[in-house]
């Protein structure tokens, strides 16, 4: 071994005179050095012509995130960051720089959160989150990401700050659906939960993502439907927290490209994109899903979903909408029915003219009935003949006076026509008796 190493790398090679091969190696090294120098010069020239590329590169926005309430099974740090990536990519939100900046706060909901009575109440926890987020001093253009209670923190922060992008998932302050807006003005003293209304609108670009029938962010509008309320309460337990593990980019893209306003709306006025990711099956059927065949689940889901949807108003997710017992359109119909009688008196006042015509109609049948009595007819002919004789013997003035009196008394005679006819009939009957 020692001789073999000496034979190949021994002293005789060290003392060999410089050969042509060593000169070749030195030439190659010189060429390499010249090449490196050329690259350096070329790079310097490039930097000199475009200094903005190295001196002031464009930086991506920083993402500040707030986790949800510390309750139930919580994702690991890596799982949560993966969840953030799913939402950012699926909604085509501005791309943030890495790593994400976590905003620590208690995230408590005493006594239900992991710390029990040691945790802060909901209101105090949210207030702490707002203060800590303000202390982080997000720069203009930075992204603020909040899930669940973290979205409530971001909503309150948004009321006093502008210039950021907001990505809110499972937002309890969602204008149309969030439970803190559905019962705005309510306060639960023991839990210290204030229902403070909808996420403010300050013009900053906002992405609001909800999973269908998650009771915290997609609560029914109309309270008359107990099935819908029960479904939303079950959704609080089985849909809300699992959003961090089950939501996919495909879900968000499907909602955005669905062409159905129930699942995606963009409100230009508030500069907000609203997503609703379909939940299948409905939360009430989720516990049964592992035990029933798919066709049975589908057969149960369709009619229940249709009935549950009658308790929702999904016309505009940007409009703050409180819960009511019944749809308000029924109240509008009631107002219209009250207004209708107001037109009736005017119609009655404008229709007095036809009444005299109605009162005159019965007189015509009476005249027809009297025409069938021959004695009355003969009596009338006799009266006409006697009247003509009197006219011939009288003077012209008397005749004119008679005609004038006749024309003047015509209405009175017309009014008393039934009496005259009755008298004529009586006279005729008397004549008959005399003849007999």
Distance CA 227, CA 229 (A): 5
98-116: burial string, b at 16+ Cβ within 10 Å, e else = eebbebebbbbbbeebebe
- In the prediction, which pLDDT does 383 show? 58
Q: What is the pLDDT of residues 104-146, one digit of tens each?
A: 999 999 999 999 999 999 999 999 999 999 999 999 999 999 9
For residue 190, the surrounding DSSP H or E stretch is none
Q: Is the pLDDT of residue 365 over 90?
A: no
pTM of the model: 0.65
Distance CA 209, CA 263 (A): 10
Distance CA 255, CA 117 (A): 40
Q: Is the pLDDT of residue 70 over 80?
A: yes
Distance CA 436, CA 430 (A): 10
- In the prediction, which pLDDT does 26 show? 43
Q: What is the pLDDT of residues 331-364, one digit of tens each?
A: 444 444 444 444 444 444 444 454 445 444 444 4
The full set of domains in the chain, from first to last, is 61-333 (3.40.50), 363-425 (no CATH)
């Amino acid at each position: 071994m020692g001789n073999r190493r000496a034979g190949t790398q021994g002293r005789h090679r060290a003392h060999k005179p410089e050969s042509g091969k060593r000169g070749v190696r030195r030439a190659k090294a010189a060429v390499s050095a010249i090449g490196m120098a050329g690259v350096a010069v070329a790079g310097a020239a490039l930097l000199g012509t475009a200094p903005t590329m190295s001196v002031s590169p464009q930086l991506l926005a920083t993402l500040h995130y707030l986790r949800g309430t510390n309750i139930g099974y919580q994702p690991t740090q890596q799982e949560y960051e993966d969840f953030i990536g799913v939402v950012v990519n699926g909604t085509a939100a501005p791309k943030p720089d890495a790593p994400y900046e976590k905003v620590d706060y208690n995230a408590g909901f005493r006594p239900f959160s992991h710390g029990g009575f040691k945790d802060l109440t909901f209101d105090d926890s949210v207030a702490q989150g707002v203060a800590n987020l303000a202390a982080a001093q997000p720069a203009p253009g930075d992204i603020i990401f909040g899930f669940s209670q973290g979205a409530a923190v971001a909503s309150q922060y948004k009321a006093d700050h502008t210039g950021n992008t907001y990505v809110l998932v499972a937002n309890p302050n969602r204008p149309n659906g969030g439970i803190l807006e559905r019962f705005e003005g309510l306060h639960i003293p023991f839990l210290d939960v204030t229902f403070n209304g909808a996420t403010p609108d300050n013009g900053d670009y906002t992405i609001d993502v909800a999973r269908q029938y998650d009771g915290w962010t997609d609560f029914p509008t109309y309270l008359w439907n107990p099935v819908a309320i029960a479904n939303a309460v079950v959704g609080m337990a089985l849909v809300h927290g699992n959003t961090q593990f089950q939501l996919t980019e495909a879900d968000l893209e499907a909602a955005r490209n669905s062409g159905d306003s129930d699942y995606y709306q963009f409100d230009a006025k508030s500069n907000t994109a609203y997503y609703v990711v379909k939940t299948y099956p409905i939360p009430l059927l989720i516990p049964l899903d592992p035990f029933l065949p798919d066709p049975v689940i589908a057969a149960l889901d369709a009619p229940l979903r249709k009935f549950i949807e009658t308790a929702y108003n999904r016309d505009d997710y940007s409009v703050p909408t409180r819960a009511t017992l019944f749809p308000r359109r029924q109240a509008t119909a009631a107002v219209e029915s009250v207004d209708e009688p107001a037109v009736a008196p005017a119609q009655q006042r404008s229709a007095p003219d036809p009444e005299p015509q109605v009162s005159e109609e019965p007189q015509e049948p009476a005249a027809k009935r009297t025409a069938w009595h021959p004695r009355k007819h003969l009596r009338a002919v006799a009266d006409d003949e006697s009247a003509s004789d009197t006219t011939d013997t009288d003077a012209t003035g008397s005749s004119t006076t008679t005609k004038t009196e006749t024309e003047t008394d015509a209405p009175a005679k017309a009014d008393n026509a039934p009496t005259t006819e009755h008298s004529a009939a009586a006279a005729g009957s008397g004549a008959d008796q005399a003849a007999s």
